[in-house]
Amino acid sequence: MPNKTRTGKGDSNLAAVNAYLKKNEARFVRELSEYLEIPSVSAQREHRPDIRRCAAWIAKHCRSIGLATKIYETPGNPIVVARTPPVKGKGRLHYLVYGHYDVQPTDPLGLWVSAPFKPAIRGGRIYARGSSDNKGQHLAHLNAVEAYLKTGTELPCDLTFVLEGEEEVGSARLTEFLLKNRKKFRCDGVVVSDGSMPSLAKPALTYGLRGNVAVEVIVRGPSRDLHSGSFGGAVDNPATVLCRMIAALHDRDGRIAVPGFYRGVVPLSKAERRRLAQDPWTPKALAKFVGVPQLKGEKGYTPEEQRTSRPTLEVNGLTSGYQGEGGKTIVPAWARAKLTCRLVPDQDPSRIAGLVKAHLKRICPPTVRVEFSKGHHGGPAYLIPVTEPSAKAALRALEKAYCHPASMVREGGSIPIVSLFKSALGAETLLLGLGLPSDNTHSPNEAMSLAGYRLGARLGAFLWPELAR
Ligand code: BES
Ligand code: ZN
């Protein structure tokens, strides 16, 4: 229920907007469900037609709610740009609202309770790949804008939605597109809902995200898989070598052993560490939540610091040899690993990729060859300045929408384009994640809570007047 005592002057015309949101709740869920049926996986080539279908679906939806909408073709996936109708008036603020219609791959498919692209509602949550990351989150904003437009309530800001199809693979095309069209996207700020808050009773503004960079490493041994009985022992095994190389990427204290990796890392301030210490997770609860017997990490840092504010190097995938049924006695010809680093200010993604590759080359024995292929595009970390006035406005909007005090949190995920909003457009980004930690993003059984979807639209309703104030 809206908290009447908090809604001050200027919110009276929001009554119609909120009533519209309420009245159309069921249809909004049906529309989300329809959107979620499209398997817009950007990492897999076979889904290219689905990606295009998905861009067309969301463009059509934007048009239907009254936005001037265009699909921009790129060498990769299309970018959908949708603008609110022009309103007369001087000095109106212009905000970009960014989201992504592409989703992560679904594997391991066998662990899904219901099929990833057959949206199913259970226990107040809608289960489907992309529900929380990110279709439900930007659709919630579109629902709010629809409510303004359809009730004839004046939107206090001009909005441009920028919805792309390559976020999960690093936003390379959107980067080029924005660099080429800086003028068109000149704005006073950016709003991105593509993350989470601690709970619906603890709404939060995310003040920082980590950056990301990917490296794919291949160790090549014999020119073909060999009989391990005939040749094993005399020929080095690429899988063993790669595992040894990977093991050498961290020291015993959990620090990354790549020379130069930590150069330029801005140390955590005392104030920052104090803030991060307010984290609601105890190490035990966190271990239980993710299903490990015990946490392990970098010595000298709390789990909350490690998962949000320290750089990491992770193995995301590791492949070699025979994966099929039964056994096969071979020395495999090659072994491959997909690596990514999470980055913090002021680490530079391409410099870090270079350091990791150089280190792997250095430790690779002469019995095999090492090669690299690029995984995905990445980007640097982002922190909103503590003095940013729009952050205060966003916190007020959160409190009004969720009827609970709002806080500031730092998250460990990455949204590669956010740092470009700053460097190319000069705009700060308000990160207002509408999801929850239990949404299983990138995991089997991804879900968005319907209450979170509803409240997200309410946030969309309260946000624009607060930002314009
Ligand atoms: N929604 C996430 C980003 C995110 C995750 C924000 C967790 C806050 C908390 C986004 O869709 C994502 O997954 N981004 C990728 C980017 C990568 C492929 C460059 C990520 O973080 O892995
Ligand atoms: Zn994601």
Q: What is the DSSP string of 278-302?
A: T-S--HHHHHHHHT-SS----TTS-
Paired tokens of 397: 């909007």
**Going along 247-366, which residue ranges are E strands?**
312-320, 330-331, 334-343
Cβ(167) – ligand 1 distance below 6 Å: yes
Helices 25-36 and 450-468, interaxial angle, to 10°? 110
- Classify each residue of 153-188 as buried b or exposed e, where b means 16 or more C-beta atoms within 10 Å of its C-beta: bebbbbbbbbbbbbbbbbbbbbbebbeeeeeebebb
- pLDDT at residue 280, as a whole number: 74
Query: How many A from CA of 207 to the centre of ligand 1?
Result: 15
Strands 125-127 and 157-164: unpaired
For residue 161, which of 102, 96, 101 has the smallest C-alpha distance? 96
Distance CA(266)–CA(308), nearest Å, equals 14
CATH class of the region 211-265+311-378: alpha beta
Is residue 100 within 8 Å of 168, Cβ to Cβ? yes
Q: Sign of torsion, CA 422 416 448 64?
A: positive
Q: Sign of torsion, CA 63 66 67 69?
A: positive
Mutation choice for ligand 1 from 164, 167, 304, 431, CB with most ligand atoms inside 8 A: 167
Cβ(376) – ligand 1 distance below 6 Å: yes
- pLDDT at residue 12, as a whole number: 62
Is residue 349 within 8 Å of 213, Cβ to Cβ? yes
Strand order in the sheet with 120-122: 120-122, 125-127, 447-449
Q: 383 to each of 211, 411, 414, how far by Cα in Å? A: 10, 10, 11
Strands 189-192 and 429-431: parallel
Distance CA(96)–CA(188), nearest Å, equals 8
Which residues lie closer than 8 Å to 161 by C-beta, 6 or more apart?
A: 62, 67, 80, 81, 82, 83, 96, 97, 98, 99, 138, 141, 142
Cβ(414) – ligand 1 distance below 6 Å: yes
What's the CA angle centered on 67, arms 155 and 423, to 5 degrees?
Answer: 80
- pLDDT at residue 11, as a whole number: 59
Taking residue 18's Cβ as centre, other Cβ atoms within 10 Å add up to: 20
Query: How many A from CA of 393 to the centre of ligand 1?
Result: 25
Cβ(439) – ligand 1 distance below 6 Å: no
Mind listing the pLDDT tens digit for each residue in 102-150?
999 999 999 999 999 999 999 999 999 999 999 999 999 999 999 999 9
Paired tokens of 33: 């469900």
> Same CATH topology for 11-209+381-468 and 211-265+311-378?
no
- pLDDT at residue 9, as a whole number: 44
Taking residue 56's Cβ as centre, other Cβ atoms within 10 Å add up to: 14
Cβ(396) – ligand 1 distance below 6 Å: no
Cβ(147) – ligand 1 distance below 6 Å: no
- pLDDT at residue 254, as a whole number: 96
Main-chain phi, psi angles of 142, to 5 degrees: -65, -35
Is residue 396 within 8 Å of 466, Cβ to Cβ? yes
The CATH number, out of the four listed (3.40.50.1580, 3.40.50.300, 3.40.630.10, 3.40.50.2300), of the domain defined by the range 11-209+381-468 = 3.40.630.10
**Going along 52-134, which residue ranges are E strands?**
68-72, 79-83, 93-100, 120-122, 125-127
Mutation choice for ligand 1 from 134, 415, 438, 443, CB with most ligand atoms inside 8 A: 415
Residues of the chain with pLDDT under 70: 1-12
* Structural domain spans, the chain: 11-209+381-468, 211-265+311-378
Strands 369-373 and 330-331: unpaired
Distance CA(432)–CA(462), nearest Å, equals 13
- pLDDT at residue 3, as a whole number: 40
Mutation choice for ligand 1 from 104, 166, 168, 376, CB with most ligand atoms inside 8 A: 168
